[in-house]
Each structure stands twice: as structure tokens, then as C-alpha cells.
Amino acid sequence: MTKRLYRLQSSKMIGGVCAGIAWYFDLDVSLIRLIFVGIALITALFPMLLFYIIAWIIIPTEEEVTKKKKERKSSERHQNQ
């Protein structure tokens, strides 16, 4: 099974984007947050803020992913019957 990127609601501070990225790459979430803040400060904040907002919109939450998986399994069962 392939690993999917999604926002983690359980360890979020704002939107769960950094927590999801940390989980995906198997890194400490604090390290990802520090890297994010460092890049944001170097680039005058706006580009990273824009990236975060876009990622927040595009990356699904953990609950959305599991809900879609359950729906797919349910529809596959109905098709096979």
C-alpha cells in the first residue's frame, strides 16, 4: 500500500500541514515547523504563508482519507454481490 500525504488533526497547531508532512517523511514535527518558520523569515513570510494556505486547502485530512477508503470498500462489496 502506498503512503499518502494528509493533514493530521491529532497533532495540529493551525491546520495540520506541518504535522502531515512530518508524518509522511517520518521526521519530528518540531523540526518541520522550525524549517517552515526559518524559510518563512528568509523569504519575507508571504511565499511560505501562501504555500501553507494552498497546502491547507489541497491536502485532505486524515478523516477524509479514511472516509473515502470506507466508501470505496463499501461500493466494491455492493458491485461484487
CB atoms within 10 A of CB 31: 12
Whether residue 2 is contained in a domain is answered as: no
Query: For the chain, what is the domain count?
Result: 1
Range of the domain at 62: 17-80
Distance (Å, whole) CA 77 – CA 81: 6
Whether residue 57 is contained in a domain is answered as: yes
Contact by Cβ (8 Å): 31, 16: no
Percentage of residues of the chain with pLDDT beyond 90: 54
Q: Per residue in 28-44, pLDDT tens?
A: 999 999 999 999 999 98
Whether residue 59 is contained in a domain is answered as: yes
Whether residue 11 is contained in a domain is answered as: no
Half-sphere exposure at residue 8, Cβ-oriented, CA atoms within 13 angstroms:
13
Whether residue 28 is contained in a domain is answered as: yes
Whether residue 4 is contained in a domain is answered as: no
- pTM metric for this prediction: 0.75
Using the predicted structure, report yes or no on whether residue 70 has a pLDDT greater than 90. Answer: no
Whether residue 6 is contained in a domain is answered as: no
Whether residue 41 is contained in a domain is answered as: yes
Distance (Å, whole) CA 6 – CA 26: 13
- Pick from 8, 49, 45, 43: which is nearest to 29 by CA? 8
